Amino acid sequence: MRIGEVTQENYKEFLKLFGVKDTANLDKLMGKSAKEMEAEFDHSHEAAVAAAVASGYAEEGMVGRAGDTSWKKIVPVSDEHKNKLIEVIRKQFLTNKNGMGDYRDGDEIGALYKKFRESIPPSERLSYTYSLSQIRREEESRLYNYVVAHIPTWRPGETIPDAVLKGAVSSGLNVKA
């Protein structure tokens, strides 16, 4: 039994503390003893993952085992997903004008990742998300380097002059590579 866990047996003890003499109705209500209930409960990783997915707390295929890093590998990402992700990152960079993101940017990227994962088998979702994150890091680094090449003293958080941003834009949201 864990600290703070309420079971049939310790609940009976609480009732006795409050002066209840007959706990027979509790036995009828509960149906099974605490030991029988504990024996039925599955403590496996698979059961915990299934419960998290069923409750909506996690997506299928997005929960790894502690210490397992086999999912940290680059897998092929469709050109459509890659281009959409880069477009969103560039739009955010040009909109924020300071090289920094906020919670809305993170929410937008997270929603995009989730949308992309719908077309990916659950067994590949962690690796696919990892690959998308690497693409994101590379693009953000490239944008940072572009600004630093034009303003060597610039640091993220400082406003980027419009002249630098205008020079970066060619045909919509495309920042020069």
- For 144, the 3-state DSSP assignment is helix
The four Cα atoms 11, 15, 21, 24 give a dihedral, to 10 degrees, of -40
User: How much of the chain, in percent, has pLDDT values that exceed 90?
Assistant: 27
Mean pLDDT of the chain: 81
> How do residues 61-93 score in pLDDT, each as one tens digit?
888 888 888 999 999 999 999 999 998 998 888
Query: Among 1-10, 63-72, 141-150, where is mean pLDDT lowest?
Result: 1-10
**At residue 136, does pLDDT exceed 50?**
yes
| Confidence category of residue 111, pLDDT binned at 50, 70, 90 | very high
Q: Residue 62's CB: how many other CB atoms inside 10 A?
A: 17
Q: What is the DSSP letter of 63?
A: -
